Amino acid sequence: MSSQASKDHQEGQRPPLLVDDHTVATVRESKILVLLRGLPGSGKSTLAKDIDQKYKDSSRIISADKYEIKPVIRSSSGGDYSKLDDELRSCFERREVSLVILDDTHHDRERLDELFDMANKYQFTVVVLEPKTPWRLDCAQLKDRNHWKLSLEELKNLRPTLEKDLLPLYFGWFLAKRDEDSLRKTSHEFLEQLQNLKTFKKRLQPYGYEDKHKLDLLKYFAKTPNILHCTAKFCDYGKALGSEEYGHLEAVKKGYSKGYTLHITALFATPRTVGAQVELTEDQLLLWPADAEKEVMPKDTFPRGSRAHITLGTANEVQDVQTGIDLLEFIKLQQSGREGENVGEFTGPVSGKISYYDNGMWMLNLSRKIEVKSIFSGYYGKPGVSIPLRGGKKGLLHQCQIL
């Protein structure tokens, strides 16, 4: 292997947040919790130091070794992690720390669930990384490499908990904090302009209102995702059809933890949801499942990526997954030749042509695309409370309140 080929191979073994300039810039504008996962001696601490060195002005390493937490098969209940968790919460609450690196084996699912809940509470996107060292699962070598002096038998007991991929509830693009805040503000401006539109005030019935003075769209769409994101693949922690195959795709492996710029072409509102239409690039479409549109509308045919969206808010008792279905309803009408009734132009920070499609469906085609930075990762926490969709859809749809 030539020196250049060797260098390229080594770079390919390192996560994008260490080697890709666009990703580095995106991470610096995000709130990220990196969970390093693997057997003792596999190279986690070295990887943690590399990441910390890259982001030393805004990162913090928290190590289980510092608190003498021995990596053994155990329940996460008890007081072992109390001091570590105090330090973790302190990092989450400090604005100057935007990248937290947690160095532990992370083999215990109960413990992981606690961390996922904590990260979600403080609106940190989780990135799970494992060392790519050749000996990472070789217990014979790890016996001599781990400073805990774990025996071969102890390492073999730990290995099964770390051999299987840790699949999320769903994969997706999670917005950088700065762009997320900006998009939330844009969403509010869109809704305020919409509710002040004369033609909108005359068509309130689909929203369950007759009096134009009583409808406040910001309150109507009060439910918003904790972290704005564009879902790519629903996995249900590996239980959903095709999720393991998706996780093993080369594009997914290469794209994981990588920074991407998403392009928003339109904002839309229906009596159920308010969202942003996302136009995926060729690189992003490699991460988009071929059956994503068929999952929710099996009888219709759409161009790949048509369902790509960011949920900005939902009405009471409406699941976030409904946003993508509403977007496909717009596209279905457009495919049939119905472009909607042009009712005017929005001006100011949110500008473009506003159209009405009947049944309370409004779409603003933006005069200029909105670009938002994002990190491709997974949501590993608990799903939201299941609420049946209108029409009584079952299965995948009624499980995905947070999508």
Find out whether 81 and 135 touch, Cβ atoms under 8 Å.
no
DSSP one-letter string for 158-200: HTHHHHS----SEEEEEE-HHHHHHHHHHHHHHHHHHHT-HHH
Largest Cα–Cα distance of the chain, in whole Å?
75
How far is Cα 70 from Cα 65, in angstroms, rounded to an integer?
A: 7
309 in active site: yes
HSE (CB half, 13 Å, CA atoms) of 150? Answer: 24
- C-alpha pair distances (Å), 342 with each of 39, 217, 279, 350, 365: 60, 21, 22, 17, 11
Residue type, 230: C
How far is Cα 122 from Cα 211, in angstroms, rounded to an integer?
A: 38
Given 106, 188, 309, 398, the catalytic residue: 309
Torsion angles phi and psi, residue 326, rounded to 5: -60, -40
Structure token pair of residue 332: 């279905």
- C-alpha pair distances (Å), 145 with each of 45, 221, 314, 374: 12, 54, 51, 37
Place of tokens 């890709």: 20
22 in active site: no
Given 9, 22, 107, 229, the catalytic residue: 229
Question: Which residues does the annotation mark as catalytic?
Answer: 229, 309
